Amino acid sequence: MQLGFVGTGTMGNPMARCLIEAGHRVTVHDLRREATSNLCDLGAGWADTPRATAQASEVVFTSLPGPAEVERAMVDPSTGILAGLKAGGACIDMTTNAPSVVRRIAEACRARGVEFLDAPVSGRPPGMTIMVGGQATTFARYRPLLEAMGRNIFYVGDTGAGCIAKLVTQYLGYTNFVTSLEGLLIAAKAGIDLGILAQIVPVSAGASRTFDNVPRSVLSGEFTAGGTLDIVAKDLHLACELAREVGAPAHLGSIADDVMKRAQAQGWGQRGFPIAARVLEAMAGVELRAAGVKYEGGYQEKDPRRGSP
C-alpha cells in the first residue's frame, strides 16, 4: 500500500520504519528533513509538505507534538493533508491529542470523503500498545497497518475514544510519579535510607511500574527515563482539561500539572520528565539520592549522598 507519514521524530520515525519493513511504499515529511534521512535510506520518498505527502498516499499517518500541530498539518488550506488526499483515502493520527480536536478533524475528513482514526500509542514499536477510536469498519480495514507497528491493538470506540484512553493512562502514570516522589521525600525528611526503601516498595503495597523508574531516574541523579518534560506536561495538561470537560475530579492531576509547569518554567522542557523531581526537592529542602540503588540492571553506584533532614 502507498502510505504517508507526517512527523518522523522520536516516535514517528520507528513507526514509519516498521511500515517500510512490512513492505509498504512510504512517503515521509518532517519539518526537519534530517529526521527522515534514515527512512529515505531505507527507500522512503521525501515530500516537502503534508499536502505533497498526501498526494502520494492512500493512507496518511501523523505523529506530531500536540493538537495544534496536528490540526495545522491536517487542515491548512494550502499545505495540509486534506488539501492533497483523494476521497476514499484515510488519515490515522497517532499523536496524544485532545478528543475535541480529533473530533473536529474527523468531521473535516468526513466532509471530504476521507476516513479517520485516532490511534495514540504507548511504549515503543514494534511492541507498543495502540488505542484506537473511530468507526469500527475503518478500524477493521486498517488494523493490519497498525499491527505492523504495535503488539497490543485495542479498539476503544467512537472518534476520540482512543485519545481518551491514552490520556487516562498518562494521568495514572504521571500523577503516580509525583506521588512516588512525595512519598520518598517523606522518607528522606524522616531520615530513613532511600536505597533500602527503593527495595521495599516494589515488594509492598506501593509497588508500581511508575515507581520502578524512580531509582534509576531520580535517586541516581540522572533524570533521564521516559519522554521529555514538555511532552509529558502536555499530555498531563490535556488529561486534566478532559477531566474538567466531563466533570470528573482530578485533584492529584492538578497538583502534578502544577509541578510539571514549575519545572518547565525553569527551562527544563527538553530534559527527561523526571527532572520535575527537582521542583519537589526544592520545596522539601532535600535531595532524593541514594548510593547502590537496586534497579532492573542490578545495583547502580551513583551519587553517594542520601536524602536527610
Q: HSE on the CB side for 85, CA within 13 Å?
A: 36
The yes-or-no verdict on residue 24 having pLDDT over 70 is yes
Question: What are the tens digits of pLDDT across the range 186-221?
Answer: 999 999 999 999 999 999 999 999 999 899 999 999
Q: What DSSP state is assigned to residue 228?
A: B
On the question of pLDDT at 307 being above 90, the answer is no
Residues 247 and 237 sit within 8 Å (Cβ to Cβ): no
pLDDT at 263 over 60: yes
pTM of the model: 0.92
pLDDT, residue 226, reads 79
pLDDT at residue 295 greater than cutoff 50: no
Say which of 86, 166, 234, 302 is annotated catalytic: 166
Q: Whose CA is closest to 178, among 284, 97, 304?
A: 284
CA distance linking residue 29 with residue 32, whole number of Å: 8
> What are the tens digits of pLDDT across the range 155-174?
999 999 999 999 999 999 99
Checking if the pLDDT of 297 tops 60, the result is: no
Query: Is 166 noted as a catalytic residue in this protein?
Result: yes
**Helical H segments across 156-290, by residue range:** 161-190, 194-200, 209-214, 229-246, 251-265, 277-284
Closest by Cα among 227, 197, 229, 190 to 211: 197
Domains of the chain in start order, with CATH, are 2-158 (3.40.50.720), 164-300 (1.10.1040.10)
Mean of pLDDT over the chain: 93
Q: Which helix (H) or strand (E) holds 68?
A: helix 67-75
Considering only residues 224 and 59, tell me which one the structure prediction assigns the higher pLDDT: 59
Instruction: Return the higher-pLDDT residue of 224 and 251.
Output: 251
